[in-house]
Amino acid sequence: MVDVGENAPDFTLLSDKGTNVSLSNYRGRKVVLYFYPKDGTPGCTKEAQEFRNLAHEFTKENAVIIGVSKDSVKSHQKFIEKHNLPFTLLSDPEGKVLDLYGVWKQKSMYGRTFMGTERTTFLIDEEGKVKNVYRKVKVKGHAQTCLLDLRT
């Protein structure tokens, strides 16, 4: 599990544009790396919309927003188009990066236990160090919290 003060593990995944993107490509910029369960679900849509609505403010802070889920590139493309998302979504269908960051967890709903993505965000500084970790994120107001923490 990745924690505050550690170097954010580098990885390379396929982006919504169909190109390989590595975390190390963003050295010199702050990164909001958020993991979410599934494109198009109510909570994930709300979270993406909140980041979208504040995207220009993150840009002013020299920060990029990157979302990661197990969804396919095609699913990400539809999600971006439908909600006019101005940031990159990465596809991790095998869950390797989800495992690397410790966000692939056992969850339960209605008495049923299953494996799934725990909604988690990592704020990473320009040198690649993890500055904040938000686990079990509650969507409402989360993007604003991330923005405020980037500014301090």
pLDDT tens digits, 34-46:
999 999 999 999 9
Q: Within its chain, how far is the Cα of 5 from the centroid?
A: 18
- pTM for this prediction: 0.95
What's the pLDDT at 69?
Answer: 98
**Active-site annotation, residues:** 44
CATH homologous superfamily, domain 12-151: Glutaredoxin (3.40.30.10)
The stretch 9-34 carries a mean pLDDT of 97
The stretch 109-127 carries a mean pLDDT of 92
